[in-house]
Structure 1
């Protein structure tokens, strides 16, 4: 199935069902499909064709969703760029993918700042603007008033690119992960299968659509025929709890920082009984937070998961295993394989630590016009012509084949000749009530590196001595932090992950 058929097929089956709730707006499947058709016709009229890239630089909104599906209906490839991306990086991404069209909020960045520096742009679509269309710029409202809502002809096959998802670029320039229609369709179906999604599900989307975890909440919900309640962010947690109560949310996808904030709130005045499941990925949930979430939401199913943009989702822990393996992120998602290898490519057994290698239809096509980076990450598989993905992340497995995240290869701290996985130290720190922590290595002339803990306390105040004493009770000497820095908040990436750049 092609990705835009997620919407059109469900619209044909249940046209009057609400597909999207965004602020005060409630949009049915038929209405959303017609909006996307109008966008598709406008793009084709502007010369956008099969495989051309259509960039969307917007916050979570109805216009952004219509832009995604309109680009696909025109035969193009959508590129969703976080709304907080500044001008220089925006120009880099637009030029890197040679975008033909751009959806943008001119209250944030004006098209006049881009035309001269992005020669590939043929069309600008101004959203949330009242000014009349002029030159190469059309307004979203004008497109909805003037363009045809008739279905567009299907011009793609499932091997064509559906989207480019640009990585954060924390170690260099952003790279566009190439996702074809079959990759997205397979990953969506696999995740829907183990989450047991149903048409009655109402899913909360607080993560940005530029983050693949946030994007897939949209794609999956439209595929299985549910309703997505799309919010800009989790900036005001109490308002989100109110939204869960009002809309009777059943599915709440989050990341560790969101769940830490959720646990710190007084939830007693909200009716959250509609929740059926919580999901976590981006970073592994500490076992202590898993225990706290289960206590706070006793009737709700919790899915602990692991993924990376290059494969979408990779591992999930069946909820029945949470009691026995709270520190595990599970087994391969349905229809896939995963294993561990050492630096020489030898497969590893239970208890050994090595790099996670992933095989399946969700292994993406590689990095956009970056063959060297693609060759490093995507390697030949056992079947001639097949490629597998080397994750760059270290894991170990238990005797039953369940995976446990150890750390990122480039995060490992070498102290006194020993290797320290920050995740192991962070898990111990998270045992302290109300603590959110990030651990980094600090250069040291004797030890090579020593451990620094950056700590946010949302509960009772702690001293450096108390934190270090707690670590000494649970960790080997070489793992105990030498420094503790208390912070008001930890720096975050746009996708809700802790950014460790500069913490050392």
Structure 2
């Protein structure tokens, strides 16, 4: 089934039910269906056709939900871009996927205009933006305005469930974002599997502060609409006390977390067990929760089930730990999600015995189609697996399994840093550091951090003795998304190197960690 059909079915069953709560805005399923259908018509009339890409460059807001389903209804492929993305990275994405359109909000329109002003990256044929007055409109930039209830006919595009539905751009080991290709069938398989083990129903009310550009946050929307549940969309967890008021008022049942959020929550002193009486379950992914945090969360929410999970953008979710196993193996990421398979293999692709470290391989209908226009990276990731007839994702991550088949994360083969629920490519940060005129050499790595999982850290060789760490961090803030800016930065006369003369990220990390 195509993803947009889930909205049509939920709107047919729950037309008057609240689908989205975003700040002060409340949108019913009937309104979400009507608005997204209107948007599909607008997109089609402006020339969007089956398979065309559309960027959704927005905060967590009701318009983002309308955009995603409107694009799908028009037969397009959506790609949600984090609202903190800088112009240089947005320009790369625009050049890479050649979108037919960009949907954005008023405060981000200047960024879009600056990108499209460069001839080399001017690929989008039109832009729709909220908050656009008549004087600012043009043939290329129009108003993102759709009414709450005006009827609109379905756009006919002959699409199938094997069409691409979305591109999720994720940092890669080369430092360039890669577009993970997911079909409607992939999305339906992943969301159906997760829904089954979380035991979600249409009665669920799910709180989501995770960016829709992050697949963990995006699937909260996709699963909620599939179920006919209610989704609370928030933009930030900066004021948790205010968020708790919203959670209590709306009687939330589901709370997706990343470790950073858990750390903030557990540091608060004015909350007590039972303060969210309707909460049924908590999920965590992006990075492992410390065992101590797991224990404290369980004490704080004694009536809620806690699901430790592990996932990759390339297949959405890999594993989950059934909550009743937490006491026996709190450091495990569990077993393969329903309908899929997870193996630990050696370099020759053979399954290794229990407690032997190897590479995690995931097989199932949720595995991506590959990386957009990157055949080499696709060939490295999608290779033959233990089950010959199923797609196999070679994750590059090192795991072991115990005698009962439960999986444990060991390490990453590549250098990607996971911080605050986001992936950071060291090479991307290094490129920005090297762009500073005083920087001679720089190496970036992640070092363990109790709050963010891994702290982005840098060691720099400078040609200017007057250059300060604060100055260099400000340079990064101007050119990188917030979560990519180094938390720790130190200067050195030279960078540590291996015997072959290569800069050693491992040695640099050890030096930085010991100096903290």
Instruction: Answer yes or no: same fold by TM over 0.5.
Output: yes
> What is aligned with 2:200?
197
Length-normalised TM-score, structure 1:
0.82
Judged with a 3 Å threshold, the aligned counterparts in structure 2 of structure 1 residues 403 and 268 are, in CA distance, closer, same or farther, namely: same
Judged with a 3 Å threshold, the aligned counterparts in structure 2 of structure 1 residues 288 and 271 are, in CA distance, closer, same or farther, namely: closer
The DSSP-based 3-state class of the residue aligned with 1:313 is coil
Alignment of 1:107-256 (within 5 A): 107-110=107-110, 111-116=112-117, 117=119, 118-132=121-135, 133-141=137-145, 143-144=146-147, 149-153=152-156, 155-169=158-172, 171-256=174-259
1:408 to 381, 393, 412: 412
> What is aligned with 2:296?
292
Distance 1:105 1:25 in 2: 16
The DSSP-based 3-state class of the residue aligned with 1:312 is coil
Deviation at 1:230, TM superposition (A): 0.3
Deviation at 1:367, TM superposition (A): 0.2
> What is aligned with 1:329?
333
In the alignment, is the contact (CA less than 8 A) between 2:354 and 2:401 conserved in 1?
yes
> What is aligned with 2:514?
483
Deviation at 1:268, TM superposition (A): 2.6
> What is aligned with 1:378?
382
Give CA deviations for 1:154-191 in whole Å, capped at 9, x if unaligned. Answer: 52111100000000346411000000000000000000
Distance 2:295 2:452 in 1: 14
Alignment of 1:28-47 (within 5 A): 28-47=28-47
Judged with a 3 Å threshold, the aligned counterparts in structure 2 of structure 1 residues 262 and 482 are, in CA distance, closer, same or farther, namely: closer
Deviation at 1:441, TM superposition (A): 11
Judged with a 3 Å threshold, the aligned counterparts in structure 2 of structure 1 residues 88 and 446 are, in CA distance, closer, same or farther, namely: closer
1:357 to 333, 358, 361: 361
> What is aligned with 1:502?
none
In the alignment, is the contact (CA less than 8 A) between 2:109 and 2:129 conserved in 1?
no
In the alignment, is the contact (CA less than 8 A) between 2:35 and 2:148 conserved in 1?
no
Judged with a 3 Å threshold, the aligned counterparts in structure 2 of structure 1 residues 344 and 380 are, in CA distance, closer, same or farther, namely: closer
Length-normalised TM-score, structure 2:
0.80
Distance 1:34 1:483 in 2: 57
Distance 1:137 1:312 in 2: 34
Deviation at 1:50, TM superposition (A): 0.3
Alignment of 1:304-453 (within 5 A): 304-381=308-385, 386-411=390-415, 438=455, 450=507
Deviation at 1:340, TM superposition (A): 0.7
Distance 1:91 1:337 in 2: 37
- Within the alignment, does 1:62 sit opposite 2:92 as a pair? no
Give CA deviations for 1:389-432 in whole Å, capped at 9, x if unaligned. Answer: 0111111110000001111113599xxxxxxxx99x95xx85xx
> What is aligned with 1:417?
none
The DSSP-based 3-state class of the residue aligned with 1:379 is coil
Structure 1: any 5+ residue segments left out of the alignment? 414-421, 455-480, 486-504
In the alignment, is the contact (CA less than 8 A) between 1:206 and 1:214 conserved in 2?
yes
Distance 2:284 2:77 in 1: 28
Deviation at 1:346, TM superposition (A): 2.5
In the alignment, is the contact (CA less than 8 A) between 1:260 and 1:436 conserved in 2?
no
In the alignment, is the contact (CA less than 8 A) between 1:305 and 1:316 conserved in 2?
yes
> What is aligned with 1:478?
none
The DSSP-based 3-state class of the residue aligned with 1:410 is coil
Judged with a 3 Å threshold, the aligned counterparts in structure 2 of structure 1 residues 444 and 451 are, in CA distance, closer, same or farther, namely: closer
Distance 1:259 1:482 in 2: 23
In the alignment, is the contact (CA less than 8 A) between 2:309 and 2:334 conserved in 1?
yes
The CA RMSD measured in Å over matched residues stands at 2.8
Judged with a 3 Å threshold, the aligned counterparts in structure 2 of structure 1 residues 30 and 383 are, in CA distance, closer, same or farther, namely: same
In the alignment, is the contact (CA less than 8 A) between 1:42 and 1:147 conserved in 2?
no
Distance 2:408 2:329 in 1: 9
> What is aligned with 1:260?
263
In the alignment, is the contact (CA less than 8 A) between 1:450 and 1:482 conserved in 2?
no
Structure 2: any 5+ residue segments left out of the alignment? 418-444, 460-494
Judged with a 3 Å threshold, the aligned counterparts in structure 2 of structure 1 residues 146 and 200 are, in CA distance, closer, same or farther, namely: closer
The ranges of structure 1 where at least 4 consecutive aligned residues each deviate by more than 4 angstroms after the TM superposition are 145-148, 382-386, 434-454
In the alignment, is the contact (CA less than 8 A) between 2:31 and 2:149 conserved in 1?
no
Distance 2:231 2:276 in 1: 17
In the alignment, is the contact (CA less than 8 A) between 1:440 and 1:451 conserved in 2?
no
Distance 2:307 2:148 in 1: 43
In the alignment, is the contact (CA less than 8 A) between 2:52 and 2:99 conserved in 1?
yes
In the alignment, is the contact (CA less than 8 A) between 1:21 and 1:228 conserved in 2?
yes
Distance 1:440 1:404 in 2: 26
Q: Kindly tell me the number of residue pairs found equivalent between the two proteins.
A: 444
Distance 2:33 2:355 in 1: 50
Judged with a 3 Å threshold, the aligned counterparts in structure 2 of structure 1 residues 178 and 245 are, in CA distance, closer, same or farther, namely: same
Distance 1:482 1:88 in 2: 31
